[in-house]
């Protein structure tokens, strides 16, 4: 079957013979359970639009599209309901935000009115929305289904423009408030987006909303599970190489997204489909499809130490802790897919976050390196490849020498005379290597600056800005930083690195 690259319309996928990973059992559970106004937050390019299209076809009673799928054998009335489908992700709202918003919404509402042969009345988008819902219910004697895809796109596009952002937020607040005032006319409503706006903000009037973003029942309603991968893409996998090594690398590179306290993880569909289409190339397709420039600005503005992003803990309430003008970086990192849930502690009710996979970890490190490092982007891949090979064979001298270009030309305001700034650059570089490495590794009597583990070698590294390479090595020895790595059958390499404050680069090192 053909791979549905860039296809988000359920009817096209089913009618034209594309792959469809069957999510209809989960959709049936949602549509027949408690509540009727739902919100789902998922990262970009994660199948939200296809889910919206599938829901629309289901409530339109298009049973022929669901033949052979799970829901076809479940209890469903297959009635035809009037459906209003609004997608806000097609335009850019960063300049003429309110005007663009009105054009997009009015176009969607007008198309819907024409489809159902209705009049198009009202002075504002909220008025037209309210009247269309009420009149559809009256004309067809069936309650209305409302689907809004990427509800937050106008808000995300204007986050750096406070006045325009607030104007759009107020307009959307009134527009989405229609779902509350139209309660008697609604059969089902479904909103998707990347960010979850706090209830004191955009959804303050929508108190009948059920947020399923962290609900364990719907953790795989978007994304592809390991079981679904093996059942739906057997031909693609066989053509590339059905081996344990391949599955392990595939999972490490594209899997890892988790959206509840339950341990089930999913693959990003965008990256996985493009991987199969390229006959098995491991390329960061999802990461390359959108640059996290806004996140870099948040890191700078809020002075976030990126080395602490791994294994970060936060309560469930923090996942939607966005209140208009108070943007907290970590929830945005999670909601946008650059961090994901990797653990949950029932006693403390805290979630642990980390990078979902190697695609995101190395891609984000590479992006950070381009922002902070002196190495030219065209040089980075070559340098990283050289360092990887040197570490694999125990060439610590060559590895440190290859680090130097990354420190050349770093702006003084970024690389200040603080030891941690030099460590930050090192952290970003080793993350780009895509190998197992940790910084600030705690031991019983101290904290070692960095540990890199290769197949045959373990590198225990200590840095000194106001000290010598010999002092760094002596600290590794005196505090037995390498002790826990003895007995693993690997050669332990102890490396003391001294930074030169005047040159703002690596000075001397001892092994």
| pLDDT band for position 94 (cuts 50, 70, 90) | confident
In 46-202, which ranges are continuous DSSP H helix?
48-59, 97-115, 125-140, 153-157, 162-181
CATH number for the segment(s) 373-510: 3.40.1350
Question: Pick the residue with more confidence: 46 or 437?
Answer: 46
Of residues 213 and 325, the one with the higher pLDDT is: 213
Residues 291-334: tens digit of each pLDDT: 777 777 777 777 777 777 888 888 887 776 555 456 677 888 89
| Alpha-helical runs (H) found in 182-328 | 226-232, 234-240, 244-254, 269-277, 285-288, 293-301
Q: At 375, is the secondary structure helix, strand, or coil? A: coil
* Residue 509 confidence (pLDDT) above 80: yes
**Gap between the Cα atoms of 400 and 467, Å rounded:** 18
CATH tag, 10-218: 3.40.50
| Structural Rg of the chain based on CA atoms | 26
Across the chain, what does the average pLDDT equal? Answer: 87
Q: Which residue has the higher pLDDT, 117 or 380?
A: 117
**Residues 435-466 as b or e (16 or more Cβ within 10 Å = b):** bebbbebeeeeeebbbbbbbeebbbbbbbbbe
Task: State the pLDDT at residue 439.
Answer: 62
Q: What is the pTM of this model?
A: 0.86
Tell me the pLDDT tens digit for each residue of 396-429. Answer: 999 999 888 877 756 555 545 556 677 777 877 7
Mean pLDDT of 458-475: 91
Q: Report whether pLDDT(57) > 70.
A: yes
CATH fold match for the domains 10-218 and 373-510:
no
Q: What's the rounded Cα separation, in Å, for the pair 48 and 42? A: 7
Q: Is the pLDDT of residue 81 over 80?
A: yes
Nearest to 495 by CA among 470, 393, 385: 470
pLDDT tens sequence across 230-269: 999 999 999 998 899 999 999 999 999 999 999 999 999 9
Give pLDDT, residue 443: 58
pLDDT of residue 249: 93
| pLDDT tens digits for range 331-362 | 888 988 999 999 999 999 999 999 999 999 88
Greater pLDDT, 318 or 274: 274
Q: Where are the domains of the chain?
A: 10-218, 239-372, 373-510
Please compute, for residue 292, the number of CA atoms within 13 A of its CA located in the half-sphere on the CB side.
Answer: 29
pLDDT score recorded for residue 200: 43
> Average of pLDDT values for 279-292?
88
Cα first-last separation, the chain? 55
Of 200, 195, 209, the C-alpha closest to 153 is 195
Share of the chain above pLDDT 90, in %: 55
Confidence class of residue 92 from pLDDT cuts 50, 70 and 90?
Answer: confident
Q: CA-to-CA distance for 300 and 136, rounded, in angstroms?
A: 49
The owner of tokens 């003008």 is 325
């Amino acid at each position: 079957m053909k791979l549905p690259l860039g296809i988000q319309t359920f009817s096209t996928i089913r009618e034209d013979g594309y792959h469809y990973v069957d999510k209809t059992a989960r959709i049936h559970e949602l549509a027949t359970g408690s509540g009727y106004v739902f919100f789902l937050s998922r990262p970009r390019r994660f199948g939200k639009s296809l889910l919206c299209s599938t829901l629309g076809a289901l409530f339109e009673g298009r049973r022929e599209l669901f033949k052979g799928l799970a829901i076809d054998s479940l209890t469903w009335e297959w009635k035809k309901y009037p459906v209003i489908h609004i997608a806000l992700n097609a335009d850019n709202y960063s300049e003429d935000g309110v005007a663009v918003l009105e054009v997009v919404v009015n176009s969607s509402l007008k198309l819907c009115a024409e489809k159902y042969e209705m009049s198009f009345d009202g002075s504002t988008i909220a008025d037209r929305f309210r009247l269309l819902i009420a009149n559809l219910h009256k004309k067809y004697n069936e309650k209305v289904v409302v689907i809004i895809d990427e509800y937050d796109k106008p808000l995300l596009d204007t986050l750096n423009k406070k006045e325009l952002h607030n104007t759009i937020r107020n307009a959307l607040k009134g527009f989405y408030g229609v779902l509350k005032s139209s309660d008697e006319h609604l059969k089902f409503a479904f909103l998707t987006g990347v960010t979850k706006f706090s209830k004191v903000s955009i959804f303050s009037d929508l108190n009948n909303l059920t947020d399923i973003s962290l609900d364990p029942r719907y953790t795989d309603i978007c994304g592809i599970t390991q079981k679904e991968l093996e059942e739906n893409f057997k031909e693609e996998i066989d053509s590339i190489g059905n081996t344990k090594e391949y599955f392990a690398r595939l999972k490490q590179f594209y899997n890892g997204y988790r959206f509840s306290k339950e341990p089930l993880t999913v693959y990003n569909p965008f990256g996985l489909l493009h991987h199969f289409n390229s006959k098995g190339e491991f390329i960061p397709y999802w990461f390359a499809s959108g640059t996290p420039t806004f996140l870099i600005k948040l890191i700078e503005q809020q002075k976030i130490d990126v080395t602490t992003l791994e294994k970060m803990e936060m309560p469930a309430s923090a996942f939607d802790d966005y209140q208009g003008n108070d943007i907290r970086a970590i929830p945005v990192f999670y909601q946008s897919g650059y961090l994901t849930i990797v653990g949950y502690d029932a006693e403390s009710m805290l979630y642990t976050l980390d990078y979902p996979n190697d695609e995101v970890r190395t891609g984000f490190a590479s992006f950070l390196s381009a922002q902070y490092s002196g190495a030219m982007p065209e040089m980075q891949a070559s340098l990283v490849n050289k360092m990887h090979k040197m570490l694999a064979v125990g060439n610590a001298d060559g590895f440190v020498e290859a680090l130097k270009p990354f420190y050349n030309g770093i702006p003084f305001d970024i690389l200040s005379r603080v030891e941690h700034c030099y460590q930050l650059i090192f952290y970003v570089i080793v993350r780009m290597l895509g190998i197992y490495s940790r910084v600030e590794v705690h031991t019983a009597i101290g904290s070692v600056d960095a540990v890199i583990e290769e197949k045959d070698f373990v590198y225990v590294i200590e840095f000194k800005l106001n000290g010598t390479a010999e002092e760094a090595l002596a600290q590794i020895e005196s505090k037995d930083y390498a002790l826990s790595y003895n007995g693993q059958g690997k050669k332990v390499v102890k490396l003391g690195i001294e930074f030169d404050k005047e040159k703002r680069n690596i000075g001397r090192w001892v092994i």
